[in-house]
Amino acid sequence: MIDVQTLLIYAIPVLFAITVHETAHGWVASLLGDHSARMMGRLTLNPIKHIDPIGTIVVPAFLYFTSGFIFGWAKPVPVNFNALRSPKQDMLWVAIAGPVSNLIMAIFWLLILWLSMNNNSLFLGGMAQVGIQINLLLAVLNLLPLPPLDGGRVMSSLLPPKISYQYDQLEPYGLFILLGLLFLGIFQTVILPIVQSIQDWSYSLIGLI
């Protein structure tokens, strides 16, 4: 039997984390000259507009029913980097917008956690803890300097043009490289310790630790 409350505790923070992440990319791109996301109706916090059948539904549902853990992704917001006013420079701001939005969301959930502690709300407290963890996880994971992750875009914008072009050639293989790194344990040895350290520090700010 499905535990609806537990499902909501996980699903709501994950859904909003990936939705806000993608909207942030499109919003910053629009500010800098590329209105692709706006024209396609993607500058919205309506989760339905950002649903990816595999990443938002199939994968999270599979993980929930097999491990009790939920993780997923939204449909990427379209960005035409050539339409940006300064493509190489502006690419950095468009890319960094996603992880920054997740850090802001983590702060929002931290405030919710603090409020739940004062009101003894286990439901909100549980949801807030998931929200903090998933947003920190998305921020750290996406900042890995590997195209097509956001960190890869940031790295590409900082490199000299010739090296940047060569670096960008990794993009078709980026997903396979990432999967290989995850298989080799980068999640447990690099990503998770960073997330845990930031999370512990955040909890200490509200007296949870």
Closest CA to 45 of 5, 105, 94, 107: 105
The tokens describing 101, both together, are 């939005």
The runs of H, that is alpha helices, within the chain are: 4-31, 36-39, 59-67, 87-119, 122-142, 150-158, 161-168, 174-183, 186, 192-205
Residue of 9, 14, 22, 56 with catalytic role: 22
Separation in Å, CA 69 to CA 61, 80, 89 = 9, 34, 37
Check if 22 is active-site.
Answer: yes
* Residue 64, both tokens: 């929930």
Cα–Cα distance measured from residue 33 to residue 16, given in angstroms and rounded to the nearest whole number: 26
3-state secondary structure of 84: coil
Q: Which two tokens stand for residue 75?
A: 């449909």
Tokens of 26: 């499109």
Catalytic residues: 22
